[in-house]
Structure 1
Amino acid sequence: MSGCEWDDETGEIRAFSQFGYDGEDFMSLNLQTLTWTASKPEALIIKLTWDTYEAMLNDYKYNLLNVFPDLLKKTIQYGGSFLLRTDLPSVSLLQKTPSSPVTCHTTGFYPDRADLFWRKDGEELHEDVDKGEILPNHDGTFQMSVDLNISLIAPEDWKKYDCVFQMSGVKDDIITKLDKSVIRTNWVPPSVFPAGAVIGVVVGLLLLLLCITGLFMWRKKTNGFRAANTSDSADRHSDPN
């Protein structure tokens, strides 16, 4: 394995070339002395031989300190718009019913080096929370959510809680306060339903019940009449007089 690391702020280049065998370090190149370091006794004979290959050592040094860094810089330059892309998410507070946990949901962020958590008075919460995994969106961005159990939180203490989104490389966090006025829900209280709609549903059910009852009674009456006719006909055919 050979490669290099480049510090774009200081310009420092750290290069390496090393060999392994059977999952363990075997031998590595010391660029300061241009000699090989044996990590295992079995590598010593190869080290002594390769230390005499001056041309090979110079090639290694030139590639590691010149060719590899140039390729790395060009890759970052050409792919910078993709590698350095940062998309911040939209954040929503969701709740199914007033007694359900409040979900802090984020979506549309990139890359996935991010964290999402609830905190109280500035301290991250580890109890009464349920943290989900980072999931991909169809457009290549990501989403994540974390639930907060509010059953034991007094209404006057809601202002102490907030949801925090953090992303690697982004200085400012996205903070969303726990506030009833911003929670989105599809739940509708029973008292909100229009009285006319409720009466209409009840009347409709009564009419349906009457129709089913009438149909049942008509079929019973019809079937009983046919059975009587059949019996009378049989009696007439069996009477010799």
Structure 2
Amino acid sequence: MDSNHGQAKDAGKHGLGDVKALVFDVFGTVVDWRSSVSADLAAFGQRKGIEADWVAFADAWRAGYVPGMDRVREGARPWANIDVLHRERLDVLLDEFGIEGLDEAEKDYLNRAWHRLSGWPDTVPGLTRLKQRYILSTFSNGSVPCLIGMARHAGLPWDAIYSADVVRHFKPDPRIYRGVIGFLGLHPHEVMLVAAHNGDLRHGRSHGMRTAYVNRPTEYGPKQSKDRAAESDWDVVVSSMTELADRLC
């Protein structure tokens, strides 16, 4: 029997009461990256007297996220974390948007906009309640410095920071899913993956993790075309972190 199938089947033998830790996809699920990045860029532009469509800039920046990781996944380049990939994309976009004259310190500051993301309004209240019962950890392709900076900026009450940096592989590589289970010293059915992305949850379930879908239908703006609803019978389906706390606490 395929080991992943066996793990998923075994998870069905256990109830949600066996869950000891919640691990969270961060970008889009926990934090509102689109509003945060565009506002951060707009504030910088205002200080520097630079005019641009900063929402379009944020969207274009995020659009480089998966292609950048794919080059690493496919072996087209050595391991590089998200901070490096974001910076490479930033340099391209500054040229495309005709933004000139920034020094290295200013470019580094802009790149760290991803370290200064704010949570959705329900995030901190929900996580604070969930923390009373569960171990809370990040489960993200973001870098460790990015996730720490974000936690300090947004007041995210993590017990642990786990990212692709730990195993040097991006989701959906199986090593990052298996890695977080081992990182916490738990069994797969004792770990619940919380995400706004159906694909992430599918991979988590295949490794025996429990699953919670948090609906974020405007992560990519009002015209978002994917992940607008749950696409499977996830263990829990909610519309906010506070609702997740209502369900689990």
Q: Same fold (TM over 0.5)?
A: no
TM-score of the two chains, using structure 1 as the length reference = 0.21
Structure 1 or 2: more strand by fraction: 1
TM-score of the two chains, using structure 2 as the length reference = 0.21
Which is higher, the Rg of structure 1 or of structure 2?
1
| Larger RCO (CA under 8 A, 6+ residues apart) | 2
